[in-house]
């Protein structure tokens, strides 16, 4: 399938983008960072085309549906949302150092989808529970939330590294990372965006569950861990707004929250439940 071939090549494009961003920081060469941006845009556009091709191909096979129905397709879409949000952040901040910490996440998602022997790239018919108009809205909101949390994770790592920067060390890599205040504010913005999108994802998922299984909430492992993740990020926002937490504390909580995101996404797929079809 052409779309799978494009996805495989996109994996290497994202890796190339990461390497150019990294070399740009290590060698302090703006031209390398610009090449990294170009590679990121090429990868994002190619991946967008491949997603559309896969969507069209599913209809030609007689099982037409949005390409979000299994682990392979969700990983591909996860990588796409990460890169889409990242390009917005880069355009908005005019700073390319973020790419060193964000593009590896998209690359790893694509690499796992493309090269894991346990994941099939074949287009498959939807199981009855997934045959709903709520599929697109639920998946899109959840994964844009996950992508925002992924960016928050990368920004948190940057914040913790920036704290190691000292005037006497003269470390170019650390000097190129934006200031602590910029990282902290941008990190919090990503958390708020992710929290709002995850909230919408939980709401649309509840409505979908009622139409599919007759109940809005069944304490399925996926639902339970989505709620745990939601509560973790709700506590981050509460700590910021009410207690005035900033900086290191928010960064650490963000990393903990993203660990919950990863378990919600990957871990619960191997637990018995209504969402076990994700594997």
pLDDT of amino acid 168:
55
**224 or 230, which is more confident:** 230
What are the angstrom distances between the C-alpha of 126 and each of 35, 54, 75, 84? 40, 14, 17, 27
pLDDT of amino acid 277:
47
CA distance 260 to 266: 10
Of the listed ranges 125-129, 134-138, 201-205, the one predicted with least confidence: 125-129
Angle subtended at Cα 11 by Cα 198 and Cα 156, rounded to the nearest 5 degrees: 45
Mean pLDDT of 179-202: 94
Alpha helices in 163-220 (DSSP H): 172-176, 180-213
CB atoms closer than 10 angstroms to residue 48: 15
Q: What is the pLDDT of residues 62-115, one digit of tens each?
A: 777 788 888 899 999 999 999 999 999 999 999 999 999 999 999 999 999 888
Among 15, 12, 185, CA closest to 99: 15
pLDDT of amino acid 124:
81
> Residue 116, CB half-sphere, CA atoms under 13 Å: how many?
15
Cβ neighbours of residue 155 under 8 Å, at least 6 residues apart? Answer: 98, 101, 183, 186, 187, 190, 251, 254
CA distance 119 to 109: 12
């Amino acid at each position: 399938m052409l779309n799978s071939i494009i996805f495989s090549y996109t994996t290497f494009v994202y890796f190339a983008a990461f390497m150019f961003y990294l070399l740009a920081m290590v060698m302090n060469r703006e031209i390398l960072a610009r090449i990294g941006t170009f590679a990121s845009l090429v990868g994002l556009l190619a991946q967008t085309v491949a997603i559309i091709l896969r969507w069209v191909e599913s209809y030609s096979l007689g099982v037409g549906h949005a390409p979000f129905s299994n682990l392979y397709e969700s990983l591909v879409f996860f990588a796409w949302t990460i890169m889409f949000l990242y390009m917005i952040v880069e355009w908005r901040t005019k700073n390319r150092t973020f790419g060193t910490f964000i593009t590896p996440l998209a690359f790893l998602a694509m690499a796992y989808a493309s090269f894991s022997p346990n994941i099939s790239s074949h287009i498959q018919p939807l199981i009855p529970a997934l045959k709903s108009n709520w599929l697109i809205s639920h998946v899109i909101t959840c994964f844009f939330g996950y992508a925002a949390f992924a960016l928050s994770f990368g920004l948190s790592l940057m914040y913790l590294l920036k704290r190691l920067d000292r005037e006497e060390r003269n470390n170019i890599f650390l000097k190129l990372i934006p200031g602590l205040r910029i990282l902290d504010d941008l990190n919090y913005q990503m958390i708020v965006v992710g929290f709002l999108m995850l909230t919408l994802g939980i709401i649309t998922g509840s409505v979908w569950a009622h139409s599919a299984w007759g109940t809005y909430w069944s304490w399925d492992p996926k639902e339970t861990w989505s709620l745990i993740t939601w509560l973790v990020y709700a506590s981050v926002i509460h700590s910021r707004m009410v207690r005035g937490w900033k900086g290191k504390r928010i960064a650490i909580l963000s990393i903990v929250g993203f660990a919950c995101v990863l378990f919600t996404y990957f871990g619960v797929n191997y637990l018995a439940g209504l969402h076990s079809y994700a594997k």
